[in-house]
Structure 1
Amino acid sequence: MTKPIETWLTDMDGVLVHEEKVIPGAPEFIARLREAGRKFLVLTNNSIFTPRDLCARLRAAGIDVPESAIWTSALATAQFLNEQRPEGTAYVIGEAGMTTALHDVGYIMTSNAPDYVVLGETRTYSFEAITRAIQLIEAGARFIATNPDATGPSPAGSLPATGSVAALVTKATGVEPYFVGKPNPLMMRSALNKIEAHSETTVMIGDRMDTDVLSGLESGLRTFLVLSGSTRPGTVDRYPFRPTQVFSSIADIVPLVTQEATDE
């Protein structure tokens, strides 16, 4: 027998917002969760922004998400590194979301024999910085990347993302990075631990089969795929795994929050 849904995890881009514009039903979904007293987290592989930044961006779009309910690949990466090597050192290619998360766990940023090279998202990848990262990895630094996404969206089309730049570094060094963000189940487990949730009573909502649904599946969660983002209806059956349910958008999931709360 399927257990009731008690906690919710949801991707941000393609589920709640698209290019910073609200997706219909998203404000109502978050409001319904808060009214029902449901624990939830908004997850994103984007490591550029801090939770405070993302909170403000969502609020500007009309979605009221507390800063504490946002979990980024940068936070998951910082937590992972702190568990692996507390108070270590890192050479970081990334922006405030990544550097702030590492500072908050006591890491020191340095280009002098760091424990790790950490590659995150940025809109201004520097050839000089990438070259330095390659040299440090060749000298023995461990290679970490926040997520494997090859591209990111922009109004003009796709932008190279962390996965593409990581491939460049790997080609030059022969060293593969350890990706912390989705689809690594580590991202899901760290999110579940943050809100003290259990996999059997948690749902992951996402718009990508290869990250959101895959990581949810491998973490033992039910998965809801929405077709308002990256995944097109005709491509779902091409994957060797399936989501628990498929919805047109987050608006179709809003009634389920009320239903689950009423059924208790």
Structure 2
Amino acid sequence: MTETLPVDCWLTDMDGVLVHEERALPGAAEFLTELVETGTRFQLLTNNSIFTPRDLRARLATGGIEVPEEAIWTSALATAQFLADQREGGSAYVIGEAGLTNALHDVGYVMTERSPDYVVLGETRTYSFEAITRAIRLVEGGARFIATNPDPTGPSAHGPLPATGSVAALITRATGVEPYFVGKPNPLMMRSALNRIDAHSEHTVMIGDRMDTDIISGLEAGLRTILVLTGSTAADQVERFPFRPTRVCDSIADVVPLVREFARA
């Protein structure tokens, strides 16, 4: 995809691009200020399904990054929208926290353990053996299996924690049923974000720190992509992948001047 097309929309991952453990990375606030001042549409994307957009807005604000709630798109919101489109007014047994349960309630879903249409797995700080056992039995009983994202681990101050992908693998091993993952690297996450702000893929750039989630999902959704080297993928790992980002930048600070450059293209 050519870089000569103008850009009027930006999608960006949060962790590893704008923040690291709630600390704003250099250039993050300036990048968002540039988007606002140029009137450019944008969405902040995250596979984290624990928090609501309100929670995430407050967490970003503590790091000096001010964004409206409506500019935050989570895998929980994308999952809720997907389920509402698939089966309006359905029911679900949910393993997750407020970000996921609130999103499902908002689209009219009922939370139940009795013959739910779906088992929906998201992230939680405390995975319960009892809840996982219930999920296994419900999936074996015919409930459709959905997971917010395939990330095997998540970050913490003390090191990696098991996340949605790891627990999904446990349920799959017990049942033989694979989940449908809604979040990155599924390009559905990108397309739902684009639809939310009435943007077109040919005029949008996706910024991420992971080749195997952010960059591939942006590529498959038809977006130009920028990899920043402040998160998961290191510079010497880029060439190992069979696909490439449109650009590689050291950090989000290096993307700031590109906002006006791409807008004028």
* Alignment TM class, shorter chain as reference: over 0.9
- What are the superposed Cα offsets for residues 200-229 of structure 1, whole Å, 9 maximum, x if unpaired? 000000000000000000000000000000
In the TM superposition, what are the counterparts of 1:184-263 in structure 2 within 5 Å? 184-261=186-263, 263=264
Cross-structure match for 1:160: 162
In the TM superposition, what are the counterparts of 1:71-150 in structure 2 within 5 Å? 71-150=73-152
Letter in 2 for 1:102: L
- TM-score, normalised with respect to structure 1: 0.98
Cross-structure match for 1:65: 67
Aligned residue-pair number: 263
- TM-score, normalised with respect to structure 2: 0.98
Look up the SS of the partner of 1:117 in the other structure. strand
Partners of 1:170 and 1:89 in 2: CA distance: 21
Partners of 2:84 and 2:175 in 1: CA distance: 25
- What are the superposed Cα offsets for residues 84-134 of structure 1, whole Å, 9 maximum, x if unpaired? 000000000000000000000000000011000000011100000000000
Q: Among all aligned residue pairs of Structure 1 and Structure 2, give the percentage whose two residues are the same amino acid.
A: 75
The alpha-carbon deviation at position 157 of structure 1 amounts to: 1.0
The alpha-carbon deviation at position 260 of structure 1 amounts to: 3.4
Cross-structure match for 2:16: 14
Two-structure CA RMSD over aligned residues (Å): 0.8
The alpha-carbon deviation at position 257 of structure 1 amounts to: 1.3
**Runs of 4+ with >6 A deviation:** none
Look up the SS of the partner of 1:225 in the other structure. strand
Letter in 1 for 2:207: I
The alpha-carbon deviation at position 76 of structure 1 amounts to: 0.3
Letter in 2 for 1:103: H
In the TM superposition, what are the counterparts of 1:18-29 in structure 2 within 5 Å? 18-29=20-31
Partners of 1:89 and 1:182 in 2: CA distance: 24
Look up the SS of the partner of 1:63 in the other structure. coil
The alpha-carbon deviation at position 259 of structure 1 amounts to: 2.6
Letter in 2 for 1:213: I
The alpha-carbon deviation at position 155 of structure 1 amounts to: 1.5
Partners of 1:8 and 1:233 in 2: CA distance: 23
In the TM superposition, what are the counterparts of 1:30-41 in structure 2 within 5 Å? 30-41=32-43
- Which consecutive unaligned segments of at least 5 residues does structure 2 have? none
Letter in 2 for 1:247: C
